[in-house]
Structures are given as structure tokens and as C-alpha cells.
Amino acid sequence: MSNRNKILFMIPYLLWIILFVILPILLILWYSLTNQSQQFTLANFELFFHNGTFLKMMLNSFWYAFLITFVTLLVSYPAAYFLTKMKNQQIWLLLIILPTWINLLLKAYAFIGILSNSGLANQFLQLFGIGPVNILFTDFSFIFVATYIEIPFMILPIYNAIKEINPVIIQASEDLGASKWQTFKYVLWPLSWSGVESGIQAIFIPSLSLFMLTRLIGGNRVITLGTAIEEYFLTTMNWNMGATIGVVLIILMVAVMLLTGSKIKRKKVDL
């Protein structure tokens, strides 16, 4: 390819990088460092770090994101492991991927019905004589629905990682007298860690921005960073404060990524 062609190919892509990657970040940064009459100020950050509510909210969102990721991992790991032992794995995989193609909002909407006071969940509980429990609009319902949505995105990378392990290694561990737990702890888990890691990365960061779930399922009670950004930008129209929260979130994200040695998140998994 000639040099001229090379530049020709690069232009639209570079334009995209400048316009939609660099410029928006700079704009967010600029908004966070100015007040509403566009004067330079550090007041937004001062408010963020001196006002207890913001710090509490930040801890809150990371705690929820951690819980969602942890519960998802707990449910998904055995499922991924068992999947590798099944016949017709392609069909099983297809069945697990299929629900991810149904719009997230529709699934959230379904849970409004299921978790309501006389919905399926409470009808089920009544079989055991437990009276109608208020499930909808609680922290529990938020974590439950978020976990539900993320499960397939955790199962698939772990499945792929376990699938790549040579079964001979597991057999060798068993032959050499390792207990089931030892085989898991010293062989299976370390060898499948790459999958677990990509699963965690695919879930942790997106869980910070599930503001639609906090609105629909959490009943506005669960306030996370994502919800706060949405509120400042679209409801109270205080873009400067919203941008400040955004900048803090970006910095934390970069820190987390540097710590874990990041790869990319994959929202969707190719069939």
C-alpha cells in the first residue's frame, strides 16, 4: 500500500478518535473544572470530597458493583464448569446466549411484574406460608436483577477458559492423590483465572452504570454513581457537578484497570 493510501485510510479513523474519544473527555474535564458561569474553579471537587454524601455514594456504588460481580461469579463458575462436561455444548451455549439478545429493558420490565407484591415471586413464597413480602424497590431486588442480567457474560469467558485446559492435567492431579478441593484450588482455578478475570472486567464496570435498574427496580433508593451522573445531567441540569462525578469515576476506573492489568470488556459474545 502506498503512503498516500495509508493516510487516506487513517483519516476517518483519526477523525473518529479526535472527535469522539479525545474531545469528549476534554470537555468533561473542562466542565468539571468550571462553575456554571464558566469560570475556573475547584469547588466541584471540593464539594465532592468534603461532602459526605458523595463519598458515601461512591463507596456504595463500588460495594454494589462488587456484590453483583461476586454473586454472578458464584453462580456462573459451577455452571461454566458443568457446561464443559455436557454433550451438545453448542446447543447449551446457544440457549445461554439467547437471553442476552432480548433487550435489557424488557427483562427489567418483566421483573417489575415478577417481584411485585402479588407477582410470581410472592405467589411462590406463599406456597411456604410466607406472606407477601415487599421485594420490589429494595437493594436485594436491584442486586438480584443485575446479577440475572450479567450471568451469561460471566459463564461464557469462564467456559472458554476451562475448555482450554488439557483434561490430562486434571486427571494427573487426581491420580497424584489431590482431593477435589485441592484440584480445584491448585489446578482448575488458577488455570481458568484468565476467564474469571475477563468475566469480572465485563461485569464490574458496566454495573456502575445501571441507572435504569436503580430507577425501575431499585425504586430510586439505591443511589449509585451512574444514577447520580444521570440525575445531574438530565434532571437537575448541573452539568459541572455531573462532570465532576464522571471524572472521579474515570480516574477510579483507570486505577482499577492499571491494578488488574486490563483487557477489554465484551458486552456481547460472538456465537
**CB closer to other proteins out of 37 and 103:** 103
Please work out the total of residues on this chain that contact other proteins, with binding judged by CB under 8 A.
85
**Contacts with other proteins in 232-261 (CB under 8 A)?**
233-234, 239, 242-243, 246, 249-250, 253, 257
Per DSSP, 165 falls in state S
Say whether residue 270 binds other proteins (CB under 8 A).
yes
Say whether residue 124 binds other proteins (CB under 8 A).
no
Say whether residue 48 binds other proteins (CB under 8 A).
no
Rounded Cα gap, residues 162 and 84, in angstroms:
7
Tell which one of 6, 52, 259, 261 touches other proteins (CB under 8 A).
Answer: 6
Strand runs labelled E in the chain: none
Per-residue binding string, other proteins, 131-150, x by CB under 8 A, is -----------------x--
Say whether residue 103 binds other proteins (CB under 8 A).
yes
How many CA atoms lie within 13 Å of 69's alpha carbon, on the beta-carbon side? 19
Residue 24 beta carbon to other proteins: minimum distance, rounded to whole angstroms = 3
Rounded Cα gap, residues 46 and 41, in angstroms:
10
Tell which one of 106, 127, 176, 259 touches other proteins (CB under 8 A).
Answer: 106
Binding segment (CB under 8 A) for other proteins, from list 37-45, 129-137, 187-195, 210-218: 210-218
**Contacts with other proteins in 76-95 (CB under 8 A)?**
78-79, 82-83, 85-86, 92, 94-95
Rounded Cα gap, residues 37 and 234, in angstroms:
19
Q: Give the list of residues 6+ apart from residue 212 with CB closer than 8 angstroms, or none.
A: 104, 105, 108
How many CA atoms lie within 13 Å of 222's alpha carbon, on the beta-carbon side? 29
Tell which one of 43, 67, 114, 191 touches other proteins (CB under 8 A).
Answer: 114
Say whether residue 33 binds other proteins (CB under 8 A).
no
Burial 42-78 (b: 16+ CB within 10 A, else e): eebeeebeeeeebeebbebbbebbebbbebbbeebbe
Rounded Cα gap, residues 269 and 260, in angstroms:
22
Binding segment (CB under 8 A) for other proteins, from list 50-58, 112-120, 134-142, 186-194: 112-120
Phi, psi at residue 34, to the nearest 5°? Answer: -130, 165
Say whether residue 216 binds other proteins (CB under 8 A).
yes
Say whether residue 75 binds other proteins (CB under 8 A).
yes
Tell which one of 42, 55, 74, 104 touches other proteins (CB under 8 A).
Answer: 104
Rounded Cα gap, residues 192 and 177, in angstroms:
21
